[in-house]
Structure 1
Amino acid sequence: MRALFAAPLGADFWKLWTASAVTNVGDGITMVAGPLLVASLTSNPAAVAGAVFAQQLPWLLFALISGVWADRLDRRRLVVAVNIMRAAALATLAVAVASGIASVPLILAVFFLLGTGETLADTAAAAFVPAIVSEPLRPQANSLMYANFNVLNQFAAKPLGGWLFVVAAAVPFAVNAVTFAVSAALIAAIRAVGPPSPTTSTCSARPGLGAEIAEGVRWLMRHRLLRTLAVTMAVGNVVFCAAFAIFVLYAGQRLGLNEVGYGTLLISFAAGGFLGTLAAPALIRRFDAAPLLRLGLLIEVALHVTLALTRESLAAAAMIVVFGIHTTVWGVVVTTLRQRDVPPAMFGRVTSVYSFLDLGGAALGSLSGGLVATAYGLVAPYWAAAIAMALVAAAAWRPLRSATLKPVPAG
């Protein structure tokens, strides 16, 4: 980790990284506190699940449109404006909770606004690293950005969110409002993000939204490597989320874990992600992209086979740690490849197609996992995922051979 922080990434990157760190803490806090707040108002399972779905739905509705606006507008100003809007929405919710007038419809509306803002801010912010970090240093920069999610969002913030909710139900949302305000100030201080493309800077030069979305989709579909990675990720999310939609039942009934054991098992994902953050830059330098991506597909297959076969929690946890390492290394590699190959003027649209495939696959998987398990048993989704990923690995093996992050010789 010291080597990562020692990289000469520049002041603008560290402002971006700090902004990402504070928002990841805030998001993780709200991820826990939101369902707790709904559950304190109603025992309706649909309402509790709706608190999560309300924040996911905008990705399915607006991801592709957000990509267009991220390419049309000044990206730095867009992220600042969205973060101020999210801070205001959360502050409103915090005041409503403190005043005792919060309702389920209000909570769902606020969470829908947060998710809508996320589609815009995350899509626009994806273009920051290639704008402010030189290409040789991007694996380190991307690893540090992944560290914020793995360590702060997935590990540290969640117990903090539960504790703050116990202190006072309004506090987690007030804290998250502050994190978005701080992030907006930090992003506003970044100087090195380029302006929007001159070809889309005036209203008279802009084609319609549909035409711009189609342009981004066509560009991605014509790039063999990135197309392969996007489709692979989409299928991987379908089968992974199908298998892990019933993971709490799997942990209890197959592994014999109680609630504490289940929570401890989930930490394995964060532990693997943290190790992947430390290892990714060195692995990329040593092995390059193609072998790491191919190995990652084999690890995906091995995860599902292991979980389908084992009844030992330690074996499951060990495999999940390995999988967590893989997901971070895979993410750093794919993000760095995309930053290198996608033209800056199209970065928002291409990124939005990735996000749409990612979250669309996750939604389909989450819906289908319970149905498969109900019909065929708890291990059926894991066997189905193993078979699907084996087929994906076979189909992607040849296209992935062209993946490289080594400098291309001039001439």
Structure 2
Amino acid sequence: MVTTTASAVRTTEPLPRRYWRLWTATISSGLGDGATAAALPLLAVSLTRDPRLVAAVSTAAYLPWLLFSLVAGALADRIDRRRLMWVAQAVQATVVAVIALAAGTHLARIWLLCAAALLLGTAETVFDNAAQSVLPQVVSPGQLQNANAAQYAGQTVTERFVGPPIGGLLFAASAGLPFALDAVSFLVSAALIVRLPLRQQPSAAPLRQQPSAAPLRQQRQATPVTASRGLASLGLASLIADITEGLRWLANHRLLRGLAAIVGVNNLCNQLAWSTMVLLATGTFGLSARGYGILLAAQALGGVAGSLVNRRLVRAIGARSALVAALITTALAYLGAGLAPDIVLVGALFALSGVASMVWNVVTVSLRQDIVPGNLLGRVNSAYRMISWGTISLGGVLGGFLAHWLSLRAPLVAASGLRLATLLAAVPLLVAAGRDLGAGRAAAAESDG
């Protein structure tokens, strides 16, 4: 974790009960999401073997990050974030229930999957922006690293480790079952979030703020978090002004805007590789639906390991070195997976990539939550994630066409090359930010008690 403020002293105090309520909601939703993550591509493959159409489903799921992320961030700074979260979950429950019905009655069509993926992605954009922004209202600044690590670990276990094998197994029994499970998990999550208590109650409308020229550790302001200015103030001019403020804040922050660009390329590479992975796994390697779920779980297992070693790694080598190591590891892992002769080695390399990705995520998300003023967090988060997640849809399109034109392995090799190029561009940024990121070693030692 990177310490950037004098006030955000790390603490060994246990995470509060309200946090574990949020955590339980997250893992409940994650279990269903994991089942759907395995089942949706399998359902698509049962309808078509065209790599471009299969990739179109995953592209539709991530397109809302490019189209609606900024609006979702503005809403997260105007409306009670808990309300946004449970309403989004209710919408998602409805959509996956429709998919379950269509799959169970053999009425599913590829266009229906694309439309459903677009709706799920839109609701997910609203939910994720609100969820990341609400966490500093649930735990103290000194608990952010531990809270993020526990959140990511729980989400990874359910969404990527437990959920996908269950999804593959249920899909083999009946195509609609994984989606029915997801609908129930969304409803449970929504019920837990409705009455989630907060550490600090929101206040009035935020002030316009910009990053100062002071070091990062002095930038975070003790500004109350806005939960709501109400729907009445959602005029177009006001909404655009709020969105512009978040964009300007990020644009004026050299480190965060650079990290957003790096993550954007990395996420493009992830989707480039994974958009047609179901065809490579079930076709070239002959995996069953259950086997494909296990392959997804391999990367998640690495993510769990990454959440466990993150604090010690940052304490040992510092945040800057940890981020560089994560970029190198993921690039080499994807190259190896693209050339691997058997699926076991592919799974092992994906697990290694999962370790590196988790280390990167915990460090950078905690950094963002620590230094962005609370009443701007929703908008800055959304601007950051529009850049970093908006590229995912492009990766899906590229992956589909590369697999169609060249081979099913081509997207993995291309993703590795792009990651290595990103590393060359990232090193100067991380070196320039060395003074601020260097605080990560001391912060990790402090948080270890």
TM above 0.5: yes
**1:352 positional shift:** 1.2
Match of 1:3 in 2: none
Quick one: which of 177, 180, 183 aligns to 1:174?
A: 180
Quick one: which of 128, 131, 135 aligns to 1:129?
A: 135
Q: Per-residue CA shift, 1:101-130, capped at 9, x if unaligned?
A: 665555544333222111111110111221
Q: Per-residue CA shift, 1:227-251, capped at 9, x if unaligned?
A: 1211111122234444555667888
Does the Cα contact within 8 Å between 2:63 and 2:390 map onto a contact in 1?
A: no
Counterparts in 2 of 1:310 and 1:375: CA distance versus 1, 3 Å: closer
Match of 1:198 in 2: 205
Does the Cα contact within 8 Å between 2:54 and 2:275 map onto a contact in 1?
A: no
Match of 2:86 in 1: 80
TM-score of the superposed pair, with normalisation by structure 2: 0.77
Q: Relative to structure 2, which stretch is displaced further, 322-331 or 195-204?
A: 195-204
Quick one: which of 384, 391, 395 aligns to 2:424?
A: 391
**What pairs up with 1:77-226 in 2 under 5 angstroms?**
77-95=83-101, 106-192=112-198, 194-195=201-202, 197-199=204-206, 201=229, 203=232, 207-226=237-256
Counterparts in 2 of 1:32 and 1:383: CA distance versus 1, 3 Å: closer
Match of 1:400 in 2: 433
> Which whole-Å CA distance do the structure 1 matches of 2:106 and 2:144 have between them?
47
Question: Which runs of 5 or more residues in structure 1 are unaligned?
Answer: 1-5
Letter in 1 for 2:287: E
More helix by share: 1
Q: Relative to structure 2, which stretch is displaced further, 243-252 or 336-345?
A: 243-252
**1:329 positional shift:** 1.0
**1:13 positional shift:** 0.5
Match of 1:398, SS? helix
> Which whole-Å CA distance do the structure 1 matches of 2:191 and 2:275 have between them?
37
Q: Per-residue CA shift, 1:281-320, capped at 9, x if unaligned?
A: 3333444422222322333444356557776877665554
Q: In the alignment, is residue 236 of structure 1 matched against residue 243 of structure 2?
A: no
> Which whole-Å CA distance do the structure 1 matches of 2:346 and 2:42 have between them?
28
Q: Per-residue CA shift, 1:70-110, capped at 9, x if unaligned?
A: 11101011112222222233334445555666655555443
Of structures 1 and 2, the one scoring higher in RCO (CA 8 A, sep 6+) is 2
Give the alignment's Cα RMSD to 1 decimal: 3.6
> Which whole-Å CA distance do the structure 2 matches of 1:244 and 1:92 have between them?
25
Letter in 1 for 2:414: P
Q: In the alignment, is residue 365 of structure 1 matched against residue 392 of structure 2?
A: no
> Which whole-Å CA distance do the structure 2 matches of 1:250 and 1:159 have between them?
18
Counterparts in 2 of 1:399 and 1:369: CA distance versus 1, 3 Å: farther
Does the Cα contact within 8 Å between 1:225 and 1:400 map onto a contact in 2?
A: yes
> Which whole-Å CA distance do the structure 2 matches of 1:322 and 1:103 have between them?
36
Q: Per-residue CA shift, 1:169-206, capped at 9, x if unaligned?
A: 33322222211111111112311163365247154596
Q: Relative to structure 2, which stretch is displaced further, 64-73 or 126-135?
A: 126-135
**What pairs up with 1:199-348 in 2 under 5 angstroms?**
199=206, 201=229, 203=232, 207-243=237-273, 257-259=285-287, 267-303=297-333, 306=336, 319-348=349-378
**1:340 positional shift:** 0.5
Does the Cα contact within 8 Å between 2:324 and 2:427 map onto a contact in 1?
A: no
> Which whole-Å CA distance do the structure 2 matches of 1:100 and 1:263 have between them?
22
> Which whole-Å CA distance do the structure 2 matches of 1:240 and 1:174 have between them?
27
**1:156 positional shift:** 1.2
Counterparts in 2 of 1:246 and 1:35: CA distance versus 1, 3 Å: closer
